[in-house]
Amino acid sequence: MADEHAEAKRWDELTDEMVVVYGVIRYVLSCLPVRIHLAHYNEDWEPGEAIAALVALNRARLELVRDQPLIELHRDLLQQAITDWLLAFDLAGLFPLVGDPIGWRLDALEHLIQRAQFTAGKVALDLGIGDE
| 26-71 pLDDT tens trace | 999 999 999 999 998 887 878 888 899 999 999 999 999 999 999 9
In the chain, the N- to C-terminal Cα span, in Å, equals 47
In a domain, 132, yes or no: no
The neighbour count for residue 9, using CB atoms within 10 Å, is 10
Q: How far apart are CA 2 and CA 35, in angstroms?
A: 46
In a domain, 66, yes or no: yes
Give pLDDT, residue 42: 80
Eight-state DSSP code of residue 129: T
Phi, psi of 104 (to 5 degrees): -100, -25
Q: How far apart are CA 45 and CA 52, in angstroms?
A: 10
Averaging pLDDT over each range in 6-10, 81-85, 91-95, 100-104, which range is the top one? Answer: 81-85
H helix count then E strand count, the chain: 4, 0
In a domain, 78, yes or no: yes
pTM score, two decimals? 0.92
In a domain, 104, yes or no: yes
Residues across the chain: 132
Eight-state DSSP code of residue 41: P
Q: Determine the structural domain holding residue 20 and report its residue range.
A: 2-127
Which contacts qualify for 100-107: CB closer than 8 Å, 24 or more apart?
A: 100/7, 106/7, 106/10, 106/11, 106/14
Q: How many domains are contained in the chain?
A: 1
Average pLDDT, the chain: 91
In a domain, 40, yes or no: yes
In a domain, 41, yes or no: yes
Give pLDDT, residue 33: 96
